[in-house]
Amino acid sequence: MRSHEIDYEIIGDDMQLVEVELDPGETVIAEAGAMNYMEDGIRFEARMGDGSEADEGMLGKLLGAGKRMLAGESLFMTHFTNEASGKRRVAFAAPYPGKIVAVDLEKVGGPLLCQKDAFLCAAKGTRVSIAFQRRLGTGFFGGEGFILEKLEGDGMAFLHAGGTVVERKLNGQTLRVDTGCIVAFTGGVDYDVELVGGLKSMFFGGEGLFLATLRGYGRVWLQSLPFSRMADRVLEHAPSAGGSDRGEGSLLGGVGRLFER
């Protein structure tokens, strides 16, 4: 089926949300928990499957739900449908700071592969499935496991990325990237993982043991701050279970807090 033709506006700067305008009868699908607000007249329903195939049947829905479980996603997707007589709006936001990337799948000219937590929402008619990595090395060390999400269709899809988003177009070139910084890439781009140079670089370079290699023809979206990197830094500076604390920029650390009472 052809995807619904939705209008949208991306609001904000560093903590963005996307506001989708639905004509009567139009539907947008989203990951569970992504909705921020919606106007009266929009009905939402959690369903198995993305609704891209009207005659999918219960077996197809169960298979799709099983694949989503393998990808670490919720069994259900939420469908938001405008049942009012006029236009209505619904907004979606990601759970951590970053940018929202709007992708017209019809212009991409093929499937869009993205990391499993990057997909935010899309026009109904978009097929959301999974793609297994072809190489064991890529699966084990690629930062995304064996599974990526695959988006197919001819409508708008919206991805979320941490920090700042950089879009690169490859025309046969090779791009080496930190494995966690990849958001998405088009079907003509080949994705692999390679070892970092020598032993010194591997152990003392601070960039990890592996880098992702992207080569071929197509578009690549990268993020400057993967959520895993941000979480590691927060945990590194968080108080320990024993209650110890470090003051920001203070040699005394938590000792100064003794005099706050």
pLDDT 10s digits, 225-261: 887 777 767 777 777 645 555 554 444 444 445 444 4
Rounded CA separation 120/126 (Å): 12
Q: Which residue has the higher pLDDT, 148 or 222?
A: 222
pLDDT at residue 65 in the model: 55
Q: Please give the average per-residue pLDDT across 120-146, as a whole number.
A: 68
pLDDT at 129 over 70: yes
Rounded CA separation 236/228 (Å): 12
pLDDT at residue 250 in the model: 43
pLDDT at residue 58 in the model: 57
Least confident of 55-69, 87-101, 113-127, 156-170: 55-69
Phi-psi region of 13 (alpha: psi -120 to 50; beta: other; left: phi over 0): alpha
CB atoms within 10 A of CB 100: 22
Helix (H, G, I), strand (E, B) or coil at 259: helix
Q: Please give the average per-residue pLDDT across 75-99, as a whole number.
A: 92
pLDDT at residue 126 in the model: 94
Q: Does the domain made of 7-239 have the CATH classification 3.60.20.10? A: no
What does pTM read for this prediction? Answer: 0.79
pLDDT at residue 80 in the model: 97
pLDDT at residue 168 in the model: 95
Tokens of 227: 């959520």
pLDDT at residue 201 in the model: 52
For residue 98, give the nearest of 175, 18, 25 by alpha carbon. Answer: 18
**126 in Cβ contact with 149 (< 8 Å):** no
Least confident of 43-52, 100-109, 167-176, 188-197: 188-197
pLDDT at 82 over 70: yes
Calculate ∠ Cα 207-175-183, nearest 5°: 75
pLDDT at residue 130 in the model: 82
Q: Please give the average per-residue pLDDT across 156-184, as a whole number.
A: 92
Average pLDDT, the chain: 79
Q: How many helices (H) and strands (E) does the chain have?
A: 5, 17
pLDDT at residue 48 in the model: 79
Rounded CA separation 6/21 (Å): 6
Q: Please give the average per-residue pLDDT across 191-207, as a whole number.
A: 62
200: confidence class by pLDDT, cuts 50, 70, 90:
low
